[in-house]
Amino acid sequence: MCSFVNNLDFLKFALNLLQIRVGHGHFKNGLFSRISATNLSGTGGTVVVGPFSKKTATAEEIRNAAFLKFTQQNKGFARKYKYQEKFYLVYPDGSIVENLPDGSADFTLEGYRNFVDPLKRYDRLRLYLCEKSRLCLKKNFSWSYFITLQCFF
């Protein structure tokens, strides 16, 4: 049974749902890097997950959806990894998604998008799954440097 009174209500609801891309990454020589789909390990790539609410989606929801999608689409990933609890959802610099990168507020997709670039489309945002055992906490990372680098990609 549909609870929407009219098409305008449905449109307002649908505009608040979005999909994002989540990749698989790891630390190599102290730097976080994504694992490409053509990597010899056969566990890399990117998946599109969602729909999520831009205001209420949590890092755990996104991590769980990404893990499930990876296991469905990537047989190498499914063979190697059995438990989603062994992963963190991380930003492109390898830091754990708990708050916004500057620590100013709790994580939301809308807040993250506004932090990176308020004009950036949500489907262009990238987050990554990283094994907890391979996580390397970094210090002295400059988000302003990262945002500058994104202009070139």
Grouping H, G, I as helix, E, B as strand and the rest as coil, residue 92 is coil
Q: Out of 2-11, 116-125, 126-135, pick the least confident.
A: 2-11
Give the confidence band of 14 by pLDDT, cuts at 50, 70, 90.
low
Q: How far is CA 131 from CA 50, 69, 86, 153, in A?
A: 21, 16, 6, 26
Instruction: Return the CA Rg of the chain.
Output: 16
pLDDT in tens, 100-117: 988 888 999 999 999 999
User: What percent of the chain lies above the pLDDT cut of 90?
Assistant: 29
pLDDT in tens, 42-81: 778 889 998 888 888 889 999 999 999 999 988 888 888 8
pTM of the model: 0.77
